[in-house]
Amino acid sequence: MRVGVLPAACLALLSLLAPAGAAQPPALSAQDAWIRATPGVDVAAAYLTLHNGGTQVVVLSGVSSPEAASAMLHETRIVNGQSTMRPHEPLRIAPGETVRLAPGGLHIMLHNLKRPLAAGDEVPLVLLLEGAGNLTVMARVRPLDGE
Ligand SMILES: [Cu+2]
């Protein structure tokens, strides 16, 4: 009797594809997300303030954006008087901690933007939280001479 096998297999597959569900809302909140757009290049840096209002450590394990082919967390450092950037993932945020991503420090680097960004545009940033799903934040594009 092989007849019953296929539907059972399909059901098993469906349950695998179903969302994990029942995930608690992330304790992480994000504020003041903005992007510094530089005309003529297809990379941009995004900044925001993250706050962990929960009782557990939140780990930001990655970032993506539908507007960019790739995105990652970067850290700017001064090495031998020169500003360099390097990947910084994952980012651990302790309970009650506020982490500010700001020019000269941590930032989200967007690579291979799919379109030129103009001041006032809103770009979604998807923060991947380890074991806690995603948090999508809208970042507003500021003009280059803005703050
Ligand atoms: Cu960078």
Sign of dihedral through CA atoms 78, 79, 82, 88?
negative
β-pair type (44-52, 134-142): unpaired
Q: How far is CA 134 from CA 10, 17, 63, 116, in A?
A: 28, 17, 9, 25
* Predicted local distance difference test score (pLDDT) of residue 37: 81
Cβ neighbours, 10 Å, residue 73: 20
Tens of pLDDT, residue by residue over 11-37, are: 455 444 444 444 555 699 999 999 998
Tens of pLDDT, residue by residue over 34-90, are: 999 878 889 999 999 999 999 999 999 999 999 999 999 999 998 899 999 999 889
CA of 107 to the centre of ligand 1 (A): 6
Mean model confidence pLDDT for the chain: 86
Structural tokens at position 73: 């967390």
CA of 70 to the centre of ligand 1 (A): 12
Higher pLDDT, 116 or 2: 116
CA of 89 to the centre of ligand 1 (A): 12
Cβ neighbours, 10 Å, residue 56: 12
Global pTM value:
0.79
CA of 12 to the centre of ligand 1 (A): 42
CA of 27 to the centre of ligand 1 (A): 26
CA of 48 to the centre of ligand 1 (A): 14
CA of 22 to the centre of ligand 1 (A): 35
Phi then psi for 127, rounded to 5 degrees? -95, 125
CA of 86 to the centre of ligand 1 (A): 7
CA of 53 to the centre of ligand 1 (A): 27
CA of 29 to the centre of ligand 1 (A): 22
